[in-house]
Structure 1
Amino acid sequence: MTDLLPPDVAPLVALSLMAVSFASSFITISFGIGGGGLMLAVMASLLPPAALVPVHGVVQFGSNAGRTAMMARHIQWGPALWFAVGIVLGIGLGASVVPAIPPAVVLIGVGLFLIWTVLSKPPAWMRDWPLLTGTLTSVLSMAFGASGPFVNTYVKSLDLGRHAHVATTAVLLSGQHLLKALAFGVLGFAYAPWAGLIAALILCGLAGTWTGKQVLNRLSDARFRQALNAVLLLLSARLVWQGLSLLL
């Protein structure tokens, strides 16, 4: 097994990450959100910093691509296609805009906005202007790495059923993570030593997705929205806390 792992990753670390990949995918498809942030947090404590975002991006692309394939018939392609154009624009724009914005301001502002969208109805422009929403959420994803809360807030504004929500979110996140992973490859990150671990994490993620889908099928749309709102509130509160910590 050690021959398939990068030099800085022990077998026990790899097994731990595989278990987390299964759990994070299970959580994401069951409740709509939360798995990507969990995976990023665990990876941050176990992997070298230089490999964190590139490897996380590829693993999340694989997990979301698998989720997209399993849920393809539920995807709402109209909003997704316009949002996808916004992804391309937002990633390009974010590379120049994000460094000029104080991180604390971004964290607190986004956290409060997400809390507002949960406690009240999301603003109409999020639903009616998917190109604009895709651009803005992709700019924000450049600042944080994990883009699930922003994409989920947009898809939530579409007021879809639970299967359509998960499927549409998955295809949008697939696009964001794919472009991010390609960008790191162009910038020189060497994926080859990590290929074995990445493949194992994606396979465990697919197993978690299949298992979680059985839970999703048993949930009602109302229960799904309650779980989604609860996780969004927790993630939003974490963003505000991180921003305040930077100011204090």
Structure 2
Amino acid sequence: MALLPADLAPSFSLLLILASFFTSATTAAFGLGGGAMLIALMTSVMNPLIAIPVHGAVQLGSNGGRAIVRFKHIVWPFFLWFGIGSAVGVAVGGQIAHLLPENLFRALIGLFLIYTAWGPKLKSVIKSPFVTAFTGFFAAAISMVVGVSGPLVMGFLQGLKDRREMIATHAALMTAQNILKVVTFTLLGFQFAAYLPLILMMVATGFLGTLLGSKMLDGLSEPLFRKIFRLLLTLLALWLLVQTFWA
């Protein structure tokens, strides 16, 4: 217990370590939901100013592990062009984030996710490098305003035909984003060292969850995966809309 953060009760630390396993398994199996569940739990037991950077570091390990497990399924052209657009989008979004109405964009993202869950698939996104780069720009810029990037990016990935390609490419993109996030928090002065043992334990249990979730994904048929994915996407969209109207 001496390795755990002094400002966090040991029972809460153990809860987060266990939660990392289940949330990583959820994302590895169904593509989304785990990160949102984990940050909701972390901010309920930790100071948000600490929870957000620690969550970014844990998600780096979780997404990185998923990208390694599914490495052969990553769609590299999409990753490259989407990543280029995202780099520009982060720079632009960071400059204008404070000028834009967060609740409006949260509601628009919620509506977009409902569309991607129930409307025609955005197949054009994965066919054109320019459209892919612009999509990356848009998603990254909006995420700087609202902070929701995982479900938004996954919505654009639905045009991929294979569920394993969706999971793998999403993991690679989120890994790149988490690297930038951790570097940014480090430059801003956040002391990760004090939370490093907790982070490493959460990454370890998260990787075990990824292995379990990957086996679950392989056991799912494509139609069943799409149904569960659509349900999770809809629930996340409704959560965003409720947040908007509650605010």
Q: TM-score, normalised by structure 2?
A: 0.95
Counterpart position of 1:20: 19
Q: CA deviation at 1:80?
A: 0.7
Counterpart position of 1:167: 168
Q: Does residue 223 in structure 1 map to residue 224 in structure 2?
A: yes
Residues 176-222 of structure 1: per-residue CA shift (max 9 Å, x gap) = 11111111111111111011100000001000000111111110111
Counterpart position of 1:139: 141
Q: CA deviation at 1:126?
A: 3.4
- What code does the residue aligned with 2:101 have? P
Q: CA deviation at 1:122?
A: 3.6
Q: 1:225 to 1:110 in 2, by over 3 A?
A: same
Counterpart position of 2:151: 149
Distance 1:231 1:11 in 2: 31
Does the 8 A contact of 2:63 with 2:175 survive in 1? yes
DSSP 3-state at the match of 2:232 = helix
Does the 8 A contact of 2:122 with 2:156 survive in 1? no
Q: CA deviation at 1:146?
A: 4.2
Taking the TM superposition and a 5 Å limit, the aligned residue runs for 1:88-107 are: 88-107=87-106
- Give the alignment's Cα RMSD to 1 decimal: 1.3
Q: 1:124 to 1:148 in 2, by over 3 A?
A: same
Counterpart position of 1:209: 210
- What code does the residue aligned with 1:180 have? K
Taking the TM superposition and a 5 Å limit, the aligned residue runs for 1:107-146 are: 107-123=106-122, 126-127=125-126, 128=128, 129-146=131-148
Using the TM superposition, name which of 15-24 and 80-89 deviates more. Answer: 80-89
Q: Once superposed, which parts of structure 1, at least 4 consecutive aligned residues long, lie more than 4 Å away?
A: none
Aligned residues: 244
Counterpart position of 1:196: 197
Q: CA deviation at 1:125?
A: 5.1
Distance 1:178 1:197 in 2: 18
In structure 1, runs of 5+ residues without a counterpart are: none
Distance 2:92 2:184 in 1: 14
Residues 42-85 of structure 1: per-residue CA shift (max 9 Å, x gap) = 00101112112111111101100000011101111011111111
Distance 1:18 1:105 in 2: 34
Does the 8 A contact of 1:27 with 1:33 survive in 2? yes
Does the 8 A contact of 1:84 with 1:172 survive in 2? yes
Counterpart position of 1:42: 41
Does the 8 A contact of 1:87 with 1:175 survive in 2? no
In structure 2, runs of 5+ residues without a counterpart are: none
Does the 8 A contact of 2:63 with 2:174 survive in 1? yes
Residues 127-170 of structure 1: per-residue CA shift (max 9 Å, x gap) = 3311111111112222343421011111113x231111111110
- What code does the residue aligned with 1:229 have? R
